[in-house]
Amino acid sequence: MFKDIIRMAHHPVSTIRKNHALEHATLQVLAEKGTPSGRLFGYSDMNGFWVVGNVGTQALSDASQEALQRLQSGERKLAIHPNCGTNIATSGLVAAFAAWIAMAGTRKGFRSWLERFPVVVTFVTMALMLSQPLGLRVQETMTTDANVGAMKIAQVMRYEGRALPVHRISTYTQPQLGS
């Protein structure tokens, strides 16, 4: 019985990673069907994910169901999205570190900083170029999990915001006891 209780417990980070993967896959499916995903953005949490932007509720519901089925069939690449905030954050961190390294040893004063500025620009530019594949790798290994298992979509709800509509896609995974 204790093993069954352990199996039922869902680690919060793991659940968020799976929802993040489904969010990305849903945006990718929408893009395949002609909805520009650059005009949509999402946010994942333990209970599902949000999609902000102009998209029909039925189109989003259909895309999320298709995305879930495709992830469950092994299409892991759908979980990685080129416009993910993970890529932006990874690039920002790598660029900041490069700027810090480039400024190391610089004396105080504006003139000293200005003389070092071309080195900073070069380091940051190189860091941004190198960070792009790193951001995708961070998504793959840390912020998404394409192995969504027995996840199911509970509901898709639309909320009208002041500027843009917002959808809530609620998910759950039914624990399997006794295996």
Q: Are residues 44 and 75 in the same domain?
A: yes
Band of the pLDDT at 38, cuts 50, 70, 90?
A: low
Per the prediction, the chain carries an average pLDDT of: 89
Question: Do the domain assignments include residue 48?
Answer: yes
List, for residues 82-109, the tens digit of each pLDDT value.
Answer: 889 999 999 999 999 999 999 887 778 8
pTM of the predicted model as reported, rounded to 2 decimal places = 0.84
Question: What is the token pair recorded at 70?
Answer: 């495709």
Q: Are residues 50 and 93 in the same domain?
A: no
Say if CB 59 and CB 36 are below 8 A apart. Answer: no
Question: Do the domain assignments include residue 35?
Answer: yes
Cα three-residue angle 111-115-120, rounded to 5 degrees: 125
Say if CB 80 and CB 140 are below 8 A apart. Answer: yes
Q: Are residues 66 and 151 in the same domain?
A: yes
Say if CB 124 and CB 141 are below 8 A apart. Answer: no
